[in-house]
Amino acid sequence: MATLKETDLYPPIKTFLEGQGYEVKAEIGAADLVACRDGEEPVIVELKTAFSLALVHQGVERQALSDCVYLAVPRGAGRRFDKALAANLALCRRLGLGLLTVRLRDGFVEPHLDPGPYRPRISTPKRARLLREFARRAGDPNTGGASRARLVTAYRQDALRCAAHLGQAGPTKGAAVAAAAGVPRATRIMADDHYGWFARVATGIYDLTPAGRAALGQYAEVLRGL
């Protein structure tokens, strides 16, 4: 199988743009492809055999020459390519870059995104969750950039409060744990048992599992902060 080259993308994109009335020329200055039509903003296309940070850098640099800059890559197949395409589209949209793909078996060019200014839209529910977690989390128990596997969230802090009370008091009713630990949702946390720390030993009564007792030692420093 022949090695894919950037030059393989040029003929189908040239044909695609010429079909829209553009005059197309290759390797004009630093640009891989430049297309002009009736005094309009020139269209610049940067070609790569795969989407990469280098391609994005080139596209951003070409925005000093035109507001109409596209990135072009071969069209892949399968869910992995579709997932990557969605992520790359989001990046291009934020940078004001357009994105084309070329299906090499028949030269089909698909425009996925046109260049244009990006105005980010705030997700009110997501921001509310962010601020709620910030407000509910006691102190700053994590280090930025750490693995999320043992991330100390507000939920984990509440679970640790419940575990600490059971560690001292032994089997206890959920309502009593809620009152003593200051965790209104204590019964729900112990019933859901996301961490494997709690066991229901009788109706409405919970105790620690061996994993829960181990967690008291593993998170001793966090518990001191609570």
End-to-end CA gap in the chain: 62
Instruction: Tell me if 103 sits within 8 A of 110, measured CB to CB.
Output: yes
Which is nearest to 104 in space by CA: 188, 196, 214, 6?
6
Specify the CATH number for 149-225; select among 1.10.10.10, 3.40.1390.10, 1.10.3720.10, 1.10.3210.10: 1.10.10.10
Q: Which residues contact 12 (CB under 8 A, 6 or more apart)?
A: 102, 104, 107, 108, 109
Its pTM surpasses 0.75: no
Give the tens place of pLDDT for each residue, 161-183.
999 999 999 999 999 999 999 99
Nearest-angstrom CA–CA distance, 90 and 84: 10
Rounded to 10 deg, the angle between the 210-218 and 154-169 helix axes is 110
Parse the chain into domains and list their residue ranges: 6-113, 149-225
Q: What angle do CA 167, 172, 175 make, to 5 degrees?
A: 120
Q: Is the confidence at residue 2, as pLDDT, over 70?
A: no
Give the tens place of pLDDT for each residue, 193-222.
999 999 999 999 999 999 999 999 999 998
Give the tens place of pLDDT for each residue, 48-81.
999 999 999 999 999 999 999 999 999 988 899 9
Instruction: Tell me if 177 sits within 8 A of 204, measured CB to CB.
Output: no
Structure tokens at 42: 């020139």
Specify the CATH number for 6-113; select among 3.40.1350.10, 3.30.70.1280, 1.20.1250.20, 1.10.287.3510: 3.40.1350.10
